[in-house]
A and B are shown apart, each in its own frame.
Chain A
Amino acid sequence: MKIMLKTDNIKFSYNKTNIIKGIDLNIKKGSFVGIIGPNASGKSTLLKNISKTLTVDQGKVYLDKKVLNDYNSMELAKKMAVVPQNTEVNFNFNVYDIIMMGRHPYQKRWSGLKQEDKKIVKNIMELTDTLKLKNKLINELSGGERQRVIIARALAQDPDVLLLDEPTSNLDINYQGEIYGLLKHLNQKFNLTIITVSHDLNLTAQYCEELLLLKNGKIFAAGNAENVLTEKNIKKVYKAEVLIKINPISGKPFVTLIPEKNDKYKNQKNKDFKVHVIAGGGTAQKFLYKLDNEGYPLSIGVLNIGDADWQAAKELGIETVEAPPFIEITEKEINKNRKLIKKADLVILSDLPFGHGNLANLKILLEFPEKKKILFSNLNIEKRDYIKGKAAAIWNKIIIEDENVILLKEKDDLIKKINELENMEMER
Chain B
Amino acid sequence: MTEYKKNILVYLVAVIVLILIGFTALFIGSSYINPIDVVSYILSNNQISASTAIIISEIRLPRIILAFIVGAGLAVAGSVFQAIIRNPMVDPYIIGISAGAGTGVMVALFLGIEISVLNLSSIPVFAFIGAVSTVFIVYQLAKVGKKLPVLTFLLAGVAMSFILNSVMSFLMVLRTENLQQLVYWLMGSLAGSSWSDIQMVLPYFLAALAVIVFYLKDLNILLLGEESAAHLGLNVERTKIILLGSASLITASVVSVSGSIGFIGLVVPHITRMIIGPDHRKLIPLTALFGGGFLLVADTAARTIMAPMELPVGIITALAGGPYFIHLLRNKSKNIW
Q: Which residues of A contact B (CB under 8 A)?
A: 51-53, 72-78, 80-82, 84, 86, 89-94, 97-98, 101-102, 104-105, 107, 109, 139, 154, 157
Also in contact, A93 and B233, with CB within 8 A (given A53-B227, A109-B214): no
14 pairs from A and B in contact (CB 8 Å cutoff) = A53-B231, A74-B233, A78-B233, A82-B227, A89-B223, A89-B225, A90-B337, A91-B223, A93-B277, A104-B217, A104-B233, A139-B334, A139-B335, A154-B231
Is B228 located at the chain interface by the 8 A CB criterion?
A: yes
Which B residues from 70 to 106 make CB contacts under 8 A with A? 86
Contact between A93 and B228 (Cβ–Cβ < 8 Å)?
no
Is B230 located at the chain interface by the 8 A CB criterion?
A: yes
Chain A residue nearest to B232 (CB atoms) is A104
> How far, in angstroms, from A90 to B273 measured CA to CA in the complex?
13
> How far, in angstroms, from A82 to B214 measured CA to CA in the complex?
26
Chain B residue nearest to A156 (CB atoms) is B232
Which B residues from 261 to 318 make CB contacts under 8 A with A? 273, 277-279
> How far, in angstroms, from A78 to B234 measured CA to CA in the complex?
12
Contacts of A77 in B (CB 8 A): 231-233
Q: Of A51, A92, A107, A109, which contacts B231 at CB under 8 A?
A: A51
| A297 CB, min distance to chain B CBs, angstroms | 54
> How far, in angstroms, from A78 to B232 measured CA to CA in the complex?
8
| B230 CB, min distance to chain A CBs, angstroms | 6
Chain B residue nearest to A82 (CB atoms) is B231
Q: Of A75, A92, A109, which contacts B217 at CB under 8 A?
A: A109
Contacts of A73 in B (CB 8 A): 230, 233-235
Contacts of A86 in B (CB 8 A): 225
Contacts of A97 in B (CB 8 A): 220, 279
Contact between B224 and A89 (Cβ–Cβ < 8 Å)?
yes
Contacts of B223 in A (CB 8 A): 89, 91, 93
Contacts of A75 in B (CB 8 A): 233
Contact between B230 and A84 (Cβ–Cβ < 8 Å)?
no
Given A53-B231, A72-B235, A154-B231, list of 4 further CB < 8 A pairs? Answer: A73-B235, A84-B228, A98-B224, A101-B221
Which B residues from 232 to 249 make CB contacts under 8 A with A? 232-235
> B224, B233, B337: which has the most chain A beta carbons within 10 Å?
B233
Contacts of B273 in A (CB 8 A): 91
The 9 closest A-B pairs by CB, nearest first: A77-B233, A91-B337, A105-B233, A74-B233, A82-B231, A91-B278, A104-B232, A73-B233, A73-B235
Contacts of B279 in A (CB 8 A): 93, 97
> B86, B227, B336: which has the most chain A beta carbons within 10 Å?
B227
Contacts of B225 in A (CB 8 A): 84, 86, 89
> How far, in angstroms, from A109 to B220 measured CA to CA in the complex?
13
Contact between A92 and B277 (Cβ–Cβ < 8 Å)?
yes
Chain A residue nearest to B217 (CB atoms) is A109
Contact between B278 and A92 (Cβ–Cβ < 8 Å)?
yes
> How far, in angstroms, from A101 to B231 measured CA to CA in the complex?
11
> How far, in angstroms, from A135 to B217 measured CA to CA in the complex?
20
> How far, in angstroms, from A75 to B230 measured CA to CA in the complex?
11
- Chain B 205-221, CB-CB to A under 8 Å as 1, else 0, gives 00000000010010011
| B98 CB, min distance to chain A CBs, angstroms | 25
> How far, in angstroms, from A102 to B229 measured CA to CA in the complex?
10
Contacts of A105 in B (CB 8 A): 232-233
Q: Of A81, A92, A101, A107, which contacts B224 at CB under 8 A?
A: A101
Chain A residue nearest to B87 (CB atoms) is A90
> How far, in angstroms, from A107 to B221 measured CA to CA in the complex?
13
Contact between A157 and B232 (Cβ–Cβ < 8 Å)?
yes
Contacts of B235 in A (CB 8 A): 72-73
- Chain B 251-268, CB-CB to A under 8 Å as 1, else 0, gives 000000000000000000
> How far, in angstroms, from A144 to B336 measured CA to CA in the complex?
23
| A91 CB, min distance to chain B CBs, angstroms | 3
Chain A residue nearest to B337 (CB atoms) is A91
Chain B residue nearest to A140 (CB atoms) is B335
Contacts of B277 in A (CB 8 A): 92-94
> How far, in angstroms, from A86 to B86 measured CA to CA in the complex?
15
| A195 CB, min distance to chain B CBs, angstroms | 14
> B86, B214, B231, B278: which has the most chain A beta carbons within 10 Å?
B231
> How far, in angstroms, from A114 to B278 measured CA to CA in the complex?
22
Contacts of A109 in B (CB 8 A): 214, 217
Contacts of B220 in A (CB 8 A): 93, 97, 101
| A86 CB, min distance to chain B CBs, angstroms | 8
| B208 CB, min distance to chain A CBs, angstroms | 18
| B252 CB, min distance to chain A CBs, angstroms | 26
> How far, in angstroms, from A98 to B224 measured CA to CA in the complex?
9
Contact between A90 and B334 (Cβ–Cβ < 8 Å)?
yes
> How far, in angstroms, from A215 to B227 measured CA to CA in the complex?
26
| B234 CB, min distance to chain A CBs, angstroms | 6
> How far, in angstroms, from A75 to B334 measured CA to CA in the complex?
34
Contacts of A90 in B (CB 8 A): 86, 334, 336-337
Contacts of B336 in A (CB 8 A): 90
| B279 CB, min distance to chain A CBs, angstroms | 6
Q: Of B214, B230, B232, which contacts A101 at CB under 8 A?
A: B232
| A80 CB, min distance to chain B CBs, angstroms | 8
> How far, in angstroms, from A196 to B235 measured CA to CA in the complex?
25
| A55 CB, min distance to chain B CBs, angstroms | 10
Chain B residue nearest to A135 (CB atoms) is B3
Contact between A92 and B230 (Cβ–Cβ < 8 Å)?
no
> How far, in angstroms, from A102 to B217 measured CA to CA in the complex?
12
Also in contact, A92 and B233, with CB within 8 A (given A84-B228, A97-B279, A104-B221): no
> How far, in angstroms, from A289 to B221 measured CA to CA in the complex?
55
Chain B residue nearest to A89 (CB atoms) is B224
| B237 CB, min distance to chain A CBs, angstroms | 10
Contacts of A51 in B (CB 8 A): 231
Contacts of B232 in A (CB 8 A): 77, 101-102, 104-105, 157
| B9 CB, min distance to chain A CBs, angstroms | 18
| A155 CB, min distance to chain B CBs, angstroms | 13
Contacts of A72 in B (CB 8 A): 235
> How far, in angstroms, from A98 to B221 measured CA to CA in the complex?
9
Contact between A84 and B335 (Cβ–Cβ < 8 Å)?
no
| A315 CB, min distance to chain B CBs, angstroms | 41
> How far, in angstroms, from A53 to B235 measured CA to CA in the complex?
12
> How far, in angstroms, from A131 to B321 measured CA to CA in the complex?
40
> How far, in angstroms, from A101 to B281 measured CA to CA in the complex?
13
> How far, in angstroms, from A360 to B86 measured CA to CA in the complex?
74
> How far, in angstroms, from A53 to B228 measured CA to CA in the complex?
10
| B282 CB, min distance to chain A CBs, angstroms | 11
Chain B residue nearest to A157 (CB atoms) is B232
Contact between B335 and A92 (Cβ–Cβ < 8 Å)?
yes
Chain A residue nearest to B234 (CB atoms) is A73
> How far, in angstroms, from A77 to B234 measured CA to CA in the complex?
9
Chain A residue nearest to B82 (CB atoms) is A91
